Amino acid sequence: MPSILDRIVAKKREELAASMAAVPLSALQDAIAARPLPLDFPAALRGDRIRLIAEIKKASPSKGLLREDFHPTELAATYSGNGAAAISVITDGHFLGAPSHLTSVKESGASGSVPVLRKDFLFDPYQVCEARAIGADTFLLIVDILSPSQLSELIHLGSELGMTPLVETHDAEEIATAVKAGAEVIGINNRDLHTFVTDLATTESLAPLIPADKVIVSESGISTPQDLARLEPLGVHAVLVGEALVTAADTAAKVRSLTGAPVPV
């Protein structure tokens, strides 16, 4: 039986064909030319303490609806105003996300000066151009759904468009593939996308395999300052957090608990 990841990618292929028919690549290139230059994602993640990539996530295949009262621009303003270093916007429909969420976050100015990542299931150059066209500063690449040559090609295309992607891995072989393809920002997903089992021990076992010159991001299942204290000694530069932020009773306070930012005056 196909996993949820297989089903998401199959659906994505149908959507890609429809998008390519509706919006030619030349139209994406015109939209890209009209966008301001992308913000520097790796630079935003380097610092003297663990940085936060705060995710805008309405629902998930594993947990269902996470937040009823969902306003991407309000969340983005809360994230950027309370010390997040970057914002991840899920644009895939299985999470009740949409490309328009990302565009509204950028065009409203709610993300301030922090880079915005398109979180989706990307495997085709058209989708990377689309990410830039809708306003993203960077994008996610999941090694599990790409061949090594696709991965290299999409990293290279990102670089031509001024974007350094987050390259997501879940085992030692995928880390080797990411490094060989030239990834600069390497994510370790603590969630197995086929079984949904989530365990921070994944970062503990894999972070030591990543070369020292890379930016390391630990993703999924992270919710407390204690989790950050567990990850920091591993050389992790940033954490990507979704559910714990969107389900918090006080989102701003939850963000500050992970960034150490003071209450804004």
Ligand X SMILES: O=C(O)c1ccccc1NCC(=O)[C@H](O)[C@H](O)COP(=O)(O)O
Q: Return the residue matching tokens 């879940």.
A: 170
Q: Should residue 193 be labelled a site residue for ligand X when binding is judged by CB under 6 A?
A: yes
Is residue 221 involved in binding ligand X (CB under 6 A)? yes
**Which residue of the chain is nearest ligand X when measured via CB?**
242
CB nearer to ligand X: pick between 150 and 198: 198
> 222 to 241, contacts with ligand X by CB under 6 A?
222, 240-241
Among positions 4, 20, 98, 157, the unique one binding ligand X when judged by CB under 6 A: 4
Cβ 31 to ligand X, closest distance in Å?
26
- Name which of 32 and 66 has its Cβ closer to ligand X: 66
Question: Any idea what the Cα angle at residue 200 is, between residues 222 and 69, rounded to 5°?
Answer: 25
> Using N-to-C axis directions, what is the helix angle for 99-108 and 72-81, rounded to 10°?
50
Q: Where are the alpha helices (DSSP H) in 82-216?
A: 99-108, 125-133, 148-160, 172-181, 201-206
Q: How far is the CB of 223 from ligand X (least distance, A)?
A: 7
d(CA 179, CA 28): 29
What are the residue ranges of helices labelled H in 47-124? 72-81, 99-108
Nearer of residues 32 and 188 to ligand X, judged by Cβ: 188
C-alpha 22/C-alpha 29 separation (Å) is 14
Q: Is 203 in the site for ligand X (CB under 6 A)?
A: no
Question: By CB under 6 A, which span of 20-28, 76-84, 219-227, 252-260 interacts with ligand X?
Answer: 219-227
Give the nearest distance from C-beta 113 to ligand X in angstroms: 23
Which residues lie below 8 Å from residue 86, measured CB to CB, with a gap of 6+? 41, 44, 45, 51, 52, 53, 54, 114, 115, 116, 117, 138, 238
Quick check: 243 binds ligand X (CB under 6 A)?
yes
Pick between residue 61 and residue 125 the one whose CB is nearest to ligand X.
61
Residue list 150-189, contact with ligand X (CB under 6 A): 189
Q: Token pair of 7, please?
A: 């089903």
Report whether 202 contacts 188 (CB < 8 A). Answer: yes
| Contact flag: residue 67 with ligand X (CB under 6 A) | no
199 — phi, psi (to 5°)?
-150, 120
Name the minimum Å distance from CB 88 to ligand X. Answer: 7
Nearer to ligand X by Cβ, of 32 and 246: the residue is 246
Say whether residue 62 binds ligand X (CB under 6 A).
yes
Q: Is 55 in the site for ligand X (CB under 6 A)?
A: yes
State the minimum distance, in angstroms, from the CB of residue 200 to ligand X. Answer: 11
Annotated catalytic residues are 55, 57, 119, 168, 189, 219-220
Q: Is 244 helix (H, G, I), strand (E, B) or coil?
A: helix
Between the alpha carbon of residue 167 and those of residues 43, 129, 151, 186, 242, the distances in Å are 16, 17, 9, 5, 17
Per CB under 6 A, 219 contacts ligand X: yes
Interface residues toward ligand X, by CB under 6 A? 4-5, 55, 57, 60-62, 189, 191, 193, 196, 219-222, 240-244
